[in-house]
Amino acid sequence: MANDKIRNFCIIAHIDHGKSTLADRILELTETVAVRDMEDQLLDNMDIERERGITIKARAVRLKYTAKDGEDYIFNLIDTPGHVDFNYEVSRSLAACEGAILVVDASQGIEAQTLANTYLAIEHDLEVVPVVNKIDLPSADPERVCAEVENVIGIPAMDAPRISAKLGTNVEEVLERIVTDIPAPQGDPEKPLKALIFDSYYDSYKGVIIYVRVKEGRVKVGDNIRLMATGAVFTVVEAGCMDADSLVNNGVLEAGEVGYIAASIKSIGDTQVGDTVTDNDRPCDEPLPGYRQVNPMVFSGIYPADGAKYGDLRDALEKLQLNDASLSFEPETSIALGFGFRCGFLGLLHMEIIQERLEREYNLDLVTTAPSVIYKVTFTNGEVKYIDNPTNYPDPALISLAEEPVVKASILSPSEYVGNIMELCQDRRGVFKDMQYLDDTRVELHYELPLNEIVYDFFDVLKSRTKGYASFDYELLGYAPSKLVKLDILLNGEIVDALSFIIHADKAYARARKIAEKLKENIPRQLFEVPIQAAIGGKIIARETVKAVRKDVLAKCYGGDITRKKKLLEKQKEGKKRMRQLGTVEVPQEAFMSVLKLDS
C-alpha cells in the first residue's frame, strides 16, 4: 500500500476522559470489529486496566477506513499507557506516529497528564488533533475547553470536533480529521532497514513478539535482523500487522507501516522498547534517536506471606517479566520476612500493578516492604554507592555525602485549591518554582520535590485535598544533597529489618510516632507485652506498647468433653501460622502493610 494512504496515530487523554471509549467507537466505525463481538473497551484487556480505567501496556491495531474522498486508508492506532510511570514507553509510542488525537473532557478541561503527553507529542513533531469529548454531559462547556486548549497548548482548537464517544456522536468527523490533518508517513522502502520497537510481549508459542514502526527499508520473513542496542540477531519468522484480535502474517513490512515481527526470540530482555531493528546483512548507519535503558525508580521487597510459596513467587515474577522488561527483581533475605525478592519498578503505580497481578493472576498472598527510592551515598573514602534497600544503608559515620533523587513536578488544579496544594508540597519538602494561570479558574504549579516524598501517598493526598480535581505529573531531575537518616523499628528490642526505611531527618520524628501508633493498632495483644520503638542509630525517638493479653476465650470442658478446648487450641495455632514470628512477637501481615499507608 502506498504510504500516502497510511495514517499512524495515537490517542492522548487523561484518565476517564474517554480514550478507550473513543478507540472502541473508531474500531466499530472502521468495521475492524463486528459490533456483536465488541467487548467494552477492547484495547484495555487486562482486568486491572478496565477497573482502574488506565492503560498499562501499549497496543496497536490496524484499521481500514473508507474516507469521504472515496479512498481507502489504513489507520494504525497505537494505544499508549496513560501514566507518568510509563513516560518512556509513551515517548516511544509517540515516536512511532505522525499524529496524535488529543481527547479533552468537555467539562473538566486539560489535566497535567494530558499536558505532559501533549508536550511530548509536540516535541516529537506530531500533528496534534484536538477533540472535545463528552459533550453529552450537562456540565459540558466545549467552547471554554477549546479556548483552554488554544491558550495552554497553543494549537488551534476552535474547530475541534465536539463528540460524544459514549453515544457515538460526531466520531466520523474525527476519522476524517485523521485523514486530512495527520501527515502520511515518510520513508524509503529501498533504504537499509530501520524500525523502532515501541512494545513487545511474550507469546508462549511464537516467543517474543515485537511491535515496530518501520521508518526506512523493509523487513520480510527469512531476513536476519539485528536489535542494535543489545546486538542480538534473529531470523524473522513472521512479519505483519495487528488485527483487533489476531496477528496477520503478511510476510513483509515496509517503511511507513506499523506491524509486528516474530523471530523466535526467547527473552524479552533482548527486545528493549526504543531499540532500533535493522538488517543484519545490510545494516543502517546509526540507530534511531531517543533510545535509553529504562531504570527502575522505586524499590520494594516482596515476600510470600507463606514462606513455602517462595518458588511460586519466583515463577510468577519470571512470567510477569516476560511481558514487562521494566520489572526487575533479585532474591533477598529478610530476618523478619524470610526469603523474598527485591523488586524494582518504574514508579508507584507500576509497583501496585505488579503486586495486584501477582495476587490476582498468581493467587499469591504477599507482604511488601515500604517502597524506597535509590539514594546516592558518597563514603568518606570517596567511594560512591547507590542504595535501594534501607537494610544496606551505611553507618552515618562512614558517609561524607548523602543525596536523594529529586523530581520536577507539575500540578494542575482549580485555583481555589492552590493553598492546599502549596501546604502539601511544603510539607513534602517541595521547593516552589513557579505558578501560572491557565485561565481564570485553573492554575499550573511547578515544584521540585524529593522522590521519596511522593512515592508513598502523595497522589492520594493531593487528590483528597483538591476534592479529586488536581492532576499530577513528574519527571526526574537528578540528585540533591539531603539530611538523610535510617529509621529502624524495634519490636521487643529487636530491629525488624523489613520495617526500616530512609527518611529526611526533619521528618523522622513525626513519621516514627505515626508508625509506632499504626503498629500498635495492628499488632494484636499477645501473651507478652510488646514494646514498639522507633530509633535512629541507637537513639529511641518514639515508643508505644502493645499490652499483654489478659484473657483468652475460655473453653468449657464439661463432663470430660475436651473437643471444644482442642478446637480452640487448633484455632489459636492456625492464627499463629498467619502471623510472622519475630522473636517472641507475632506480627500479622497487615501490620507490615499498615505502615505503608500512614495517612489513610
Q: Smallest gap, in angstroms, from Cβ of residue 576 to another protein?
A: 6
- Give the up-direction half-sphere exposure of residue 30: CA atoms within 13 A in the CB hemisphere: 26
Which position among 434, 539, 573, 600 is part of the footprint of another protein (CB under 8 A)? 573
Q: Which three cell numbers stand for residue 414?
A: 482549580
Q: Applying CB under 8 A, which of residues 568, 593, 596, 598 lies at the interface with another protein?
A: 568
**Comparing C-alpha atoms, which of 279, 167, 186, 184 is closest to residue 227?**
279
Determine the 3-state secondary structure of 56 from DSSP.
coil
108 closest CA partner among 463, 474, 441, 464 = 441
User: Would you count residue 566 as binding another protein (CB under 8 A)?
Assistant: yes
Q: Which of 561, 578, 597, 599 binds another protein (CB under 8 A)?
A: 561
Binding residue for another protein, selected from 2, 35, 552, 600, defined by CB under 8 A: 552
Torsion of CA 389, 394, 396, 401, to 10 degrees: -80
Stretch that binds another protein, among 232-240, 335-343, 482-490, 547-555 (CB under 8 A): 547-555
Report the residue from 167, 248, 335, 569 that binds another protein according to the rule CB under 8 A.
569
27 neighbors 79 (Cβ within 8 angstroms): no
Taking CB under 8 A as the rule, does residue 292 contact another protein?
Answer: no
Please state the closest distance from residue 497 (CB atom) to another protein, in A. 23
Least Å from the CB of residue 579 to another protein: 11
Does position 567 interact with another protein (CB under 8 A)? The reply is no
**Single-letter code of the amino acid located at 113:** Q
Asked whether position 398 contacts another protein by CB under 8 A, the answer is no
**Cα dihedral 316/322/328/333 (nearest 10):** 30
**E strands in 134-204:** 194-203
Q: Which stretch binds another protein (CB under 8 A): 65-73, 179-187, 413-421, 548-556?
A: 548-556
- The full DSSP string for 295-354 is ---EEEEEEESSGGGHHHHHHHHHHHHHH-TT-EEEEEEETTTEEEEEEEESSHHHHHHH
Integer Cα distance of 156 and 149 in angstroms? 8
Nearer to another protein, 36 or 551 (CB): 551
DSSP codes of every residue in 364-430: --EEEPPPB--EEEEETTS-EEEE--GGGPPPGGGEEEEEEEEEEEEEEEEGGGHHHHHHHHHHTT-
Q: Which is nearer to another protein, 159 or 552 (CB)?
A: 552
Binding to another protein in span 479-538, by CB under 8 A: 526-529
Contact call for residue 577 and another protein (CB under 8 A)? no
Out of 381, 395, 556, 600, the only residue in the binding site for another protein (CB under 8 A) is: 556
If one asks whether residue 578 binds another protein (CB under 8 A), the answer comes out as: no
Residue selected from 282, 385, 565, 597 as contacting another protein according to rule CB under 8 A: 565
Give the count of residues interacting with another protein (CB under 8 A). Answer: 28
Asked if 416 touches another protein (CB under 8 A), the answer is: no
Which residues of the shown chain bind another protein in the complex (CB under 8 A)?
A: 526-529, 548-563, 565-566, 568-569, 572-573, 576, 584
